[in-house]
Structure 1
Amino acid sequence: MTFVVAGTPGDRRAALFAAACRSCGLPEPRLMPWTDVLRGAEIVLAPGELLRIDSPGGDPEADALLRGPGHPARVGGGARWYRTFTAALRRLEAAASASGARLLGDVGEIAVMFDKRLSHARMLAAGVPVPPALPGVDGYAALRSRMDEARERRVFVKPAHGSSASGVVALQTAPGRVRAVTSAARTPDGLLNSLRVRAYETEDEVAALIDDLAPEGLHVERWMPKATAGGRAFDLRVVVIGGEPTHAVVRTSRHPMTNLHLGGARGDLGAVQRALGEDGWRRAMDVCVRAAACFPGSLMVGVDLLVGIGLKRFGVGEVNAFGDLLPGLTGLPGGSAEGADTYTAQVGAVLAGSGACTT
């Protein structure tokens, strides 16, 4: 069994997946650089090879091929990124089919997961609890109008094709007041991602921010207040492999975004499990299983699980096609991945015949 990985040379994901293959007694995977795929180079695959599609992130050259030239930290370009990325996915699928190689993920499902509007609609139709969405937002004026119609005062505004909280805005309104919390910073080079979360508190600033983001397409949903642990709001990233929740990490923060690269910190999973109780934890994992089941051709789905105040309500904030980069995290006790990291668990699932998508 030989893996080929569409990925980024030097990326941590590629190194961790290669280590997982070695630990399972498999040959070193062959890396197919995303830059080659995006430039239209010939995709060479052999019958029986397993093609794993990994993130094209972390490579400025690949980013420029996807979004076009510009500051690598800029917010925006998501619509072009999506068009270029999904076209490349279709090329990989066609090459795998023509050569007799096998894909480890359904490219159509990856495309849906990278469009927050489509993934939200798919989960909603399947009965998965998701925060209600506000449709038809194409700018700040429309946003405030939709919020008034829905009697919402707190929403999350998300670029339709963004990732890593790029351009995400947590918006709160009250009579005569508005506050937008985001990692997007206004600079002489335009709107850039920052590792520091900031707040904009004037109507003009917030309107300009939303109007700058709107041309890329927006997904707006109700802000579900999160439960807290140790004075910090938290949610869960749950990795579902072959339909089983195998890994979970608590992400805590003092601001609305819990992403670890924005100052979030890993919390105490055991404490959260005890607070939820056996029944609450079972219900939480069931939501993750149902979310992942909306993508049956995907070996792995990363689920961002929202836990509401009072620990009784759950919702899915997002699903992630490449949500397995959790270094040092081993599988849940008692599960099939106990003691294994997310990559080793996926290789093990393939070896056991679970979840592979044959083209």
Structure 2
Amino acid sequence: MPRFAVVGNPENRRVTLFADAVRSAGLPAPRLLAWADVLRDGARFTPGEIVRIDSPGENAEVERLLRGAADPTRVEGTARWYTRFTAAVREVARAASAGGATLLDDPAELAVLFDKRRCHGVLRTAGVPVPESPTSGPGAAAVGSWAEARSVLGAAGLRRAFLKPAHGSSASGVLALESDGRGRFRATTSVELGPDGSLFNSLRVRRYGSEPQIAAIVDALAPDGLHIERWIPKAAQAGRVADLRVVVVDGRATHAVVRTSLSPMTNLHLGGARGDLTAARASVEASGARWTDALAVCEAAAACFPRTLCVGVDLLPKTGWRGFVVGEVNAFGDLLPRLTGLPGSGAEGLDTYGAQVAAVRSTQGKSGTYRARP
């Protein structure tokens, strides 16, 4: 039987939901290695263990160790977080190899997934439809200030664009920018700009119409790296903009949820709400497209990361549900509680974590050894 080990935060529901799925499959409870302990003292594994690397988020002490910030609500410091996190993942991989364990998450692929510029470039090179971006790929110029961002936006002809921290997550630090073409800008974001110029995450989406305020935010974010991409006009459902989070497990789209919002950001913690997946599928097919083609786009995106068991793909439906582009691919995009698998996916009746456990058992097969896809 598979023996799982999880590197994660013990109190996090991601860890508890995965452990529940393992036990529900009749397997021994996974061995837990707390991120705080791993970051301080390293990790050790035993022969045959299957190692899941889970999100280090939502833990103040782990955030301090990775980002160096005493206040976990601060937005800045994502470059330091990225450097320390990817180094820690490489150390976990070395420990797994030394102990005869197997990883479910590839360190090199995680390093790409947590750099929006590199990830966007990999997807584009593979022919996966993505929004136009002047900052993606190895040859793109870095953006180091609002003045440079403004220049890049103008040169690319982008009057509506998303500006994102290169290593951010959960919409932290993201600005939806609009220009009237006459030099005036407006930004929609969850960033709260402090009186001293500090940036804080907020659960309230707000709008800034003053360019000096926008410049202050972007200039504070720029040292950590910035990614810019075209703002794709998205389809609507019940008067709200809509997109989809599609979970791909072992190369197959298994779960999907519609996310709707009155703001450009559909993240559920920012006021987004789950939409109607059946209605979304009907809208896709009414437009003349095929639902299977939408899922195939997600599977093509996941195929760019073949040594990572599970990813969450943000699929952006164009206006009228006519075509799709991939906004992002998320390494830890499987937190969709109580959502069961799509019909015909092979994960019917299983949540996202149960589907991953089942995929490992299936891949392990008669050999008794789990092997990642080549």
TM range (shorter): over 0.9
Q: Give secondary structure in 2 for the equivalent of 1:43.
A: coil
Q: Which structure 2 residues correspond to residues 1-359 of structure 1 after superposition, within 5 A?
A: 1-39=2-40, 41-135=41-135, 136=141, 137-174=143-180, 175-188=182-195, 190-277=198-285, 279-353=289-363, 356-357=371-372
Letter of the structure 2 residue corresponding to residue 121 of structure 1: G
Letter of the structure 2 residue corresponding to residue 227 of structure 1: A
Distance in 1, matches of 2:134 and 2:175, equals 14
Distance in 1, matches of 2:66 and 2:249, equals 28
Q: Give secondary structure in 1 for the equivalent of 2:290.
A: helix
Are 2:73 and 2:201, in contact at CA under 8 Å, matched by a contact in 1? yes
Alpha-carbon deviation of 1:160?
A: 0.3
Alpha-carbon deviation of 1:188?
A: 4.5
Are 1:156 and 1:221, in contact at CA under 8 Å, matched by a contact in 2? yes
Distance in 2, matches of 1:44 and 1:105, equals 16
Q: Give secondary structure in 1 for the equivalent of 2:51.
A: strand
Alpha-carbon deviation of 1:10?
A: 1.1
Letter of the structure 1 residue corresponding to residue 108 of structure 2: G
Distance in 2, matches of 1:279 and 1:129, equals 15
Match of 2:367 in 1: none
Distance in 2, matches of 1:287 and 1:34, equals 33
Distance in 1, matches of 2:157 and 2:18, equals 47
Give the TM-score taking structure 1 as reference length: 0.97
Distance in 1, matches of 2:318 and 2:32, equals 41
Q: Give the direction of change, closer, same or farther, for the CA distance of 1:358–1:231 in structure 2 (3 Å limit).
A: closer
Distance in 1, matches of 2:244 and 2:372, equals 27
Could you give the per-residue CA deviations for residues 11-39 of structure 1, whole angstroms, max 9, x where no partner exists? 10111011101110000111000001111
Letter of the structure 1 residue corresponding to residue 144 of structure 2: D
Distance in 2, matches of 1:20 and 1:345, equals 9
Q: Give secondary structure in 1 for the equivalent of 2:111.
A: helix
Q: Give secondary structure in 1 for the equivalent of 2:363.
A: coil
Structure 1 gap segments, 5+ residues each: none
Distance in 1, matches of 2:30 and 2:223, equals 39
Could you give the per-residue CA deviations for residues 243-298 of structure 1, whole angstroms, max 9, x where no partner exists? 11000000000000000000000000000001111843122111101100000101
Distance in 2, matches of 1:83 and 1:217, equals 12
Could you give the per-residue CA deviations for residues 215-256 of structure 1, whole angstroms, max 9, x where no partner exists? 110000011011101100000000000111000000000000
Distance in 2, matches of 1:198 and 1:80, equals 27
Could you give the per-residue CA deviations for residues 318-339 of structure 1, whole angstroms, max 9, x where no partner exists? 0000100000111002220011
**Percent of aligned pairs sharing the same letter:** 58
Instruction: State the 4+ residue runs in structure 1 displaced beyond 6 angstroms.
Output: none
Alpha-carbon deviation of 1:70?
A: 2.3
Are 1:96 and 1:102, in contact at CA under 8 Å, matched by a contact in 2? yes
Distance in 2, matches of 1:276 and 1:198, equals 31
Distance in 2, matches of 1:185 and 1:42, equals 35
Alpha-carbon deviation of 1:204?
A: 1.0
Distance in 2, matches of 1:176 and 1:103, equals 50
Distance in 1, matches of 2:24 and 2:211, equals 55
Across the two proteins, how many residue pairs are aligned to each other?
Answer: 358
Distance in 2, matches of 1:191 and 1:279, equals 42
Alpha-carbon deviation of 1:177?
A: 2.5
Alpha-carbon deviation of 1:186?
A: 1.3
Letter of the structure 2 residue corresponding to residue 214 of structure 1: A
Distance in 1, matches of 2:73 and 2:36, equals 18
Distance in 2, matches of 1:170 and 1:271, equals 27
Letter of the structure 1 residue corresponding to residue 213 of structure 2: E
Alpha-carbon deviation of 1:356?
A: 4.2
Q: Once structures 1 and 2 are overlaid, which stretch shifts more, 250-259 or 345-354? A: 345-354
Are 2:289 and 2:322, in contact at CA under 8 Å, matched by a contact in 1? no
Match of 2:138 in 1: none
Are 1:297 and 1:356, in contact at CA under 8 Å, matched by a contact in 2? no
